[in-house]
Amino acid sequence: MPPASLFDFQVNGFGGVDFQRDDLTVTQFDHAVATLRHHHTAGIFATFITDDSDALARRFAAFEKLCAASPASATAILGYHLEGPWLSPEPGYRGAHPAAPMHAPSLTEFARLQAAANGRIRLVTVAPEWPGSAEFIATLTRAGVHISLGHTNATEAQIDEAIRAGARFATHVGNGCPLQLHRHDNIVQRLLARDELTACFIPDGVHLPPFALRNFFRAKPAGRILFTTDAMAGAGAGPGRYTIGPHEIDVGPDRIARQPGGQGFAGSTLTPDEGVRHVSAWLGLAPAAAQALWSTAPAAAFGLTLPSLDIRH
């Protein structure tokens, strides 16, 4: 695998470093990026999850200051993925996200967050059942921001409306939903059936067992599949207690990130280079084809050019 060649569009933290922390230091930022590069990753979308608007604005502004203070590490940050607060607050569908800050999407609120991020929010995950979602999606799409549907229980009609407005992706399909669903009419089937949407999968063997991943992979047309780690701070680090913002997360010897008490997943500890190996082995893809699905394919999907690096570890 070429050094530092991969791109991951959903990374909440890495190498023991939580990107959601208000006290994140340049040293920690540099360490996270160095660990990503050790795992052959050239670029990411740093991902921020559901919180109140003030907290999110503060985190975007602080992360931009870190990038300014460490230009070499900043080359790995190709933009931001905002996952919340415009998600479903329903139990199960909200996953590990807190329900209290969730609400209908707001163009005014997004403009404030985009300003704090210096215009670098590239991807937003939305639950399109909220009132006003179609206008929100259309406005962001016209501004060049990509929209993904996730943490949602949208009806077929609501998904149709979101696609017409410009939604192009579906966030970590097969997750962000309750354990028990109607056997046919459920959000996993609704999203998988939409060939217009590029489905994003977490191939860690936990969020999707290999057999489920194979089935989901077969359900999508060529060119409508991407992979992500949804990594949290425990990725590229060992077992222990980590955070995602104010939320404590336990990573056991099995490397599964769980909310305290063992209830529910909270991100993953998958690294992108592991993801390439899993995709190749579990889906029977040639290594070069698996690597493309973690590098050139997502970069093209988001209109990006990956930084040219030759950093060997």
Task: Answer whether residue 81 shows pLDDT above 50.
Answer: yes
Q: Give the pLDDT of residue 263.
A: 65
* Local structure of 54: helix, strand or coil: helix
Residue 144 confidence (pLDDT): 98
**The pLDDT value given to residue 311:** 41
Query: pLDDT digits over 177-229, tens only?
Result: 998 999 999 999 999 999 999 999 999 999 999 999 999 999 999 999 999 99
The DSSP symbol for 71 reads H
pLDDT at 265: 81
283 φ, ψ (degrees, to nearest 5): -110, 0
Q: Is the bond preceding residue 85 a cis peptide, omega within 30 degrees? A: yes
Distances (CA, A) of 168 to 150, 174, 205, 262: 11, 17, 25, 33
Close Cβ partners of 144 (under 8 Å, ≥ 6 residues apart)? none
pLDDT in tens, 241-276: 999 988 889 999 999 998 877 667 888 999 999 999
Quick one: what percent of the chain has pLDDT higher than 90? 88
pLDDT confidence band for 92 (50 / 70 / 90): very high
Give the start-end residues of each E strand in the chain. 6-11, 13-14, 17-18, 41-49, 77-83, 121-126, 146-149, 169-170, 198-201, 225-227, 240-244, 247-251, 257-259, 263-265
Looking at residue 308, its pLDDT comes to 63
d(Cα 172, Cα 204) in Å, to the nearest integer? 11
> Residue 80's pLDDT is what?
98
Q: How far is CA 35 from CA 38, 53, 104, in A?
A: 5, 30, 36
C-alpha R_g of the chain? 18
**For residue 286, is pLDDT > 80?**
yes
- Whole-number Cα distances in Å, 173 to 97, 119, 152, 168: 16, 27, 10, 13
pTM: 0.95
Give the pLDDT of residue 312. 42
Q: What is the pLDDT of residue 313?
A: 37
242: left (phi over 0), alpha (psi -120 to 50) or beta: beta
Mean pLDDT of the chain: 94
Residue 1 pLDDT: 63
What architecture does CATH give domain 6-301? Answer: Alpha-Beta Barrel (3.20)
Structure tokens at 135: 């206008």
Q: Please state the φ and ψ torsions of residue 12, each to the nearest 5 degrees.
A: -85, -15
> Comparing C-alpha atoms, which of 230, 270, 221, 222 is closest to residue 150?
230
Per-residue pLDDT at 62 exceeds 50: yes
Among left, alpha and beta (phi > 0; psi -120 to 50; other), residue 98 is beta
- Whether residue 310 is predicted with pLDDT greater than 80 in this model: the reply is no
DSSP assigned state of 122: E
Average pLDDT over residues 143-161: 98
- Structure token pair of residue 112: 């404030």
Sign for the CA dihedral angle at 95, 272, 20, 55 comes to negative
